[in-house]
């Protein structure tokens, strides 16, 4: 399924090809909280060959020793994240034109979840990052 998305101001747009079996996770880690301003961030992980920026240029922020997060230079919207091994691109579900097109399949970083946030589902929960098979 080909999906499109972008930031709030429309300065950066992207396209992503989502396939059955792609990991889509709720991430409860502290970095996601701080970079999004929300208690949880939902992502889909895809192969880099299935992701492209179609308009504008995102600004890179090195958020850890393993990952770079990409934001709109103008409105500040967090759009996607890449890893140093060029293994995957994590695309924020909230920036999809149709965020309901992808449903999370797991919870990552459950050990860092804000205790007042309770998402009542039966999805697998991982203490740290969920497994990605890309």
Flag whether 119 is in a domain: no
What pLDDT does residue 132 have? 67
Flag whether 122 is in a domain: no
Angle, CA 55 vertex, CA 36 and CA 52 arms, to 5°: 75
Flag whether 132 is in a domain: no
What pLDDT does residue 134 have? 39
The domain that holds 106 is classified in CATH as 2.170.150.70
pLDDT, tens only, 32-59: 999 999 999 999 999 999 999 999 999 9
Alpha-carbon torsion, ordered 58, 109, 93, 7, to 10 deg: -30
Flag whether 134 is in a domain: no
Which token pair is 74? 């103008």
Flag whether 63 is in a domain: yes
Q: Which domain holds residue 12?
A: 2-112
- Number of domains, the chain: 1
Q: Which of the four pLDDT bands, split at 50, 70 and 90, describes residue 124?
A: very high
Averaged pLDDT score across all residues of the chain: 93
């Amino acid at each position: 399924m080909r999906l499109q998305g972008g930031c709030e101001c429309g300065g950066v747009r992207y396209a992503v090809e989502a396939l059955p079996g792609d990991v889509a996770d709720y991430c409860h880690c502290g970095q996601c909280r701080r970079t999004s301003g929300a208690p949880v961030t939902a992502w889909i992980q895809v192969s880099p060959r299935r992701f492209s920026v179609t308009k504008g240029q995102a600004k890179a922020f090195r958020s850890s020793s393993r990952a770079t997060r990409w934001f709109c230079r103008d409105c500040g919207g967090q759009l996607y994240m890449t890893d140093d091994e060029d293994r995957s691109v994590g695309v924020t579900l909230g920036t999809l034109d149709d965020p309901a097109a992808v449903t999370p399949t797991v919870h990552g970083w459950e050990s860092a979840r804000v205790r007042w946030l309770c998402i009542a589902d039966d999805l697998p929960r991982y203490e740290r990052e969920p497994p990605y098979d890309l």
